[in-house]
Amino acid sequence: MDIEEIKTLTDLMVENDLSEIVIRDGEKRILLRRRGAHVEHAPMPPIMAMTPAAAPVPAAPQAAPAAAPSGSAAEAGLDSINSPMVGTFYTASDPESPPFVKPGDKVTPDTVVCIIEAMKVFNEIKAEKSGTIVSVDVANAAPVEFGQVLMKIRPD
């Protein structure tokens, strides 16, 4: 994938008001995230992260939610939601449904944030803390290991 293709994709994201595109290119997994979707001002440049398909997506710096104070110390004070088991990660209860949570969503300890299929069982995973989801660090339907970071959260 070259820079021209990425530009084309970025234009597509702006045109369709998408905040995120995940592309698999052989063994590479490319995540494009765009700030300011649904906002009128000009979009910020996308952030790109490349990882091997099997590895967790690194924390792409994420647009701070509108209500949160702006600042460069975005990673400071972040907590994570980790996988309590080995299995397959799902963002939604079925392919047609919207994701349980997306970056910017407020969660409470009882909020279901994802499903992990493990040992023939679909396990609803709860946030177990209050805060704002900052990033979803694993692609839908990706395998996860015990303790792997699934999401970053800014605690209340």
Partner 1 sequence: MKPIAHLLDADAIIAGLSAQRVGKRIVVLPEVDSTNTFALKLAERPDVDGIVVFAERQTSGRGRLGRVWHCPNGAGLMFTVLLREPAGATTPAAWMMLAGFAVVRGIVDSTDVVPSLRWPNDVYVGDRKLAGILVESRREDDGVETIAIGVGVNCLQQAGHFPPEVRDRAVSLDMLSNAPIDRQSVACSVLATLDRSLLELVHRDESRLIELWQTHSADIGARVELQSDGHTYRGRIIDIHPRDGLLVQLDDGGRRQFDPAVTTRA
Interface pick for partner 1 out of 21, 60, 118, 149 (rule CB under 8 A): 118
Interface pick for partner 1 out of 39, 147, 155, 156 (rule CB under 8 A): 147
Q: How far apart are CA 82 and CA 23, in angstroms?
A: 24
Identity of the residue, 36 or 84, whose beta carbon is nearer to partner 1 in the bound complex? 84
Interface pick for partner 1 out of 136, 148, 152, 153 (rule CB under 8 A): 148
Q: How far apart are CA 51 and CA 60, in angstroms?
A: 11
User: Which residues are CB-neighbours of 75 under 8 A, at least 6 positions away?
Assistant: 59, 61
Residue 123 phi, psi dihedral angles, 5° rounding = -105, 120
For tokens 């499903």, what's the residue? Answer: 115
Paired tokens of 99: 């994701």
Note whether 41 binds partner 1 by CB under 8 A: no
Interface with partner 1 in residues 7-26 (CB under 8 A): none
- Give the interface with partner 1 as residue ranges (CB under 8 A): 27, 53-54, 84-88, 118-121, 142-143, 145-148
